[in-house]
Amino acid sequence: MSNKTTTLGQFIIERQADFPYAKGELSRLLRDIAIAAKIVNREVNKAGLVDILGDAGTYNIQGEGQKKLDVYADEQFVSALRSGGECCVVASEENENCLYIESEISKNAKYIVAIDPLDGSSNIDVNVAVGTIFSIYRRRHTEANTKASLEDVLQKGDQQVAAGYIVYGSSTMLVYTTGKGVNGFTLDPSIGEFCLSHPNMKMPKNGTIYSINEGHYIHFPQGVKDYIKYCQQHDPSTNRPFTSRYIGSMVADIHRNLIKGGIFLYPSTSSHPNGKLRLVYECNPMAFIIEQAGGIATDGKGRILDIQPTQLHQRSAIFIGSVDMVNSLMRFIDS
Ligand code: AHM
Ligand code: MG
């Protein structure tokens, strides 16, 4: 067995020819995101030691209280993207409007980044895994001096040129796709590099894990309730009852299911009639990654990646995971 370590930087350069319009810009953009991820990782890791836990005392556009680390992570990613020069618009969960980067080096940049800088905020204060989710689009009009607009951000998910997540867990991993499969890198803190640890990730076609906040059961649509009961029934021929696992950090829940096989569900509920999770920077990137790994993602009516976004912070129901499990759920939803 070879002991050769491939760093994320090396891997990106080796794979550059795979990228659409390969001129190095997307490689540099991914590198910028990885740098910010390392800085956020450092802060998440010492969160108990410095004054960074707890509420920032501010609210995001969705009226959700912001944690200090939410704000810190947002600043780090925006700053890395701003100074990197390859991104002209950042759309973040933490900001009401898109941030147009109009500096000399960025104003003609070709890429748009939509990001949830720190997902799973409610887990920050209690040492449970949190994550970052990002999605990259190409600007629709790239002629010099044409301005990027909201329409560039509101592209369907199937127009993504890359997407990825970082999970700050028992180890820190960066997983990404550029539409040619999914690769995972683990941060080696001793050298400060993400190293290829999970090449060509494939989601098992079937699994035995279902992930949903069952506390909201009473508010779920009937088809989802019926599916949960199905998961809990005894039937050794289909390995039921299944196992329930719910961390409350979408990134960590989906990462586990990607490796082990499973389904993650966040349906519409009476308090969140359109679901809770945001289409542009949560559902779309995760759907792109899971599809690239061989799984599927739907809102219960159709493919997540086919939804035309109309608003930056719009929400969607999402059912995402192993093909056989999502298809089995769909039979309950359709009936
Ligand atoms: P956030 O972006 O404000 O952190 O919210 C998103 C998180 C997801 O990571 C997670 O899957 C979900 O909210 C958990 O919601 P709930 O507490 O309703 O189960
Ligand atoms: Mg989030």
Q: Which domain holds residue 79?
A: 8-198
Looking at the structure, tell me whether residues 180 and 160 fall in a common domain: yes
Q: How far apart are CA 89 and CA 107, in angstroms?
A: 9
DSSP string of 62-101, one letter each residue? TSPEEEHHHHHHHHHHHHHHHHHSSEEEEEETT-SS-EE-
Question: What local confidence, expressed as pLDDT, does residue 121 receive?
Answer: 81
Mutate to test the pocket of ligand 1, among 61, 211, 255, 276 (most ligand atoms within 8 A of CB): 276
Residue 74: burial class (beta carbons within 10 Å; 0-12, 13-18, 19+): buried
Mean pLDDT of 167-181: 95
Q: Strand, helix or coil at 15?
A: coil
- Domain assignment present for residue 279? The answer is yes
Ligand 1: which of 253, 277, 278, 280 to mutate, judged by most atoms within 8 Å of the beta carbon?
Answer: 277
Give the number of whichever ligand sits closest to the CA of residue 266. Answer: 1
Residue 203 lies in a domain: no
Is residue 310 scored above 50 in pLDDT? yes
In this model, does residue 291 exceed pLDDT 70? yes
- Interval between CA 34 and ligand 1 midpoint (Å): 23
Q: Look at residue 1 and tell me if it is in a domain.
A: no
- 44 or 38: which carries more pLDDT confidence? 38
Q: How far is the CA of 13 from the centre of ligand 1 (A)?
A: 34
The pLDDT of residue 234: 98
Q: Which residues line ligand 1 (CB under 6 A)?
A: 64, 93, 116, 119-121, 213, 248-250, 276
In a domain, 3, yes or no: no
Domain boundary among 198, 225, 244: 198
Which pLDDT does position 331 carry in this prediction?
Answer: 96
Specify the residue for token string 């519409």.
268
Q: What mean pLDDT is predicted for residues 110-128?
A: 90
Q: Are residues 161 and 79 in the same domain?
A: yes
CA-proximal residue: ligand 1, atom 6 (nearest):
120
Question: Which residue, 198, 225, 241, sits at the end of a domain?
Answer: 198
pLDDT beyond 90 at 24: no
Peptide bond into 204 cis (omega under 30): no
CB atoms inside a 10 Å sphere around CB 281: 26
Q: Which of 178, 198, 218 is the last residue of a domain?
A: 198
Ligand 2 centroid–CA 315 distance in Å is: 11
What's the sign of the alpha-carbon dihedral 66, 68, 69, 74? Answer: positive
Mean pLDDT of 208-234: 97
Predicted local distance difference test score (pLDDT) of residue 1: 45
- Give the mutation target among 44, 132, 266 for probing the ligand 1 site: most ligand atoms within 8 A of CB: 266
| Nearest ligand 1 atom to alpha carbon 213 | 19
The Å distance, Cα 208 to ligand 2 centre, comes to 25
- What's the CA gap between 10 and 98, in Å, rounded? 32
Percent of the chain with pLDDT over 70: 90
**Which CATH number do you get for residue 75?**
3.30.540.10
Residues 22 and 138 in one domain: yes
Would you state the pLDDT for residue 142? 72
In a domain, 137, yes or no: yes
Task: Give the ligand with the smallest distance to the CA of 123.
Answer: 1
Q: Indicate which residue's Cα is closest to atom 12 of ligand 1.
A: 248
Query: Structure pTM?
Result: 0.94
Q: Tell me the average pLDDT across 108-128.
A: 89
Rounded-to-5 percentages of helix, strand, coil across the chain: 35, 25, 40
Integer-rounded Cα radius of gyration of the chain: 19
Burial class (CB in 10 A: 0-12, 13-18, 19+), 75: middle
Give, in order, the Cα–Cα distances in Å from 143 to each of 108, 146, 148, 154, 256: 8, 6, 10, 19, 42
Residue nearest to atom 19 of ligand 1 (CA): 213
Whether 158 shows a pLDDT value over 60: the answer reads: yes
The answer to whether residue 2 scores a pLDDT higher than 60 is no
C-alpha of residue 121 to centroid of ligand 1, in Å: 8
> Averaged over 103-131, what is the pLDDT?
88
Q: Which residue has the tokens 């499990």?
A: 325
Average pLDDT over residues 174-185: 96
CA 306 – CA 299 distance, rounded (Å): 10
Report how far residue 298's alpha carbon sits from residue 291's, in angstroms, rounded to the nearest whole number: 11
Task: For residue 184, report the distance from its CA to the centre of ligand 2, in Å.
Answer: 21
Structure tokens at 84: 């990197």
pLDDT tens column, 62-107: 666 666 888 899 999 999 999 988 999 999 998 899 999 888 777 7
Per-residue confidence (pLDDT) for residue 46, from 0 to 100: 77
Q: What is the CATH number of the domain that holds 298?
A: 3.40.190.80
Question: Considering only CA atoms, which residue is closest to atom 17 of ligand 1?
Answer: 248
Reply yes or no on whether the pLDDT at 200 is more than 90: yes
Does residue 98 sit in the same domain as residue 183?
Answer: yes
Average pLDDT, the chain: 91
| Residues 325, 319: Cα–Cα separation, whole Å | 10
Q: How many domains does the chain have?
A: 2
Residues 162 and 239 occupy one common structural domain = no
Q: Is the same domain home to 192 and 214?
A: no
pLDDT band at 19 (very low <50, low <70, confident <90, very high): low
Whether 166 and 296 share a structural domain: no
Residue scoring higher pLDDT (49 or 79): 79
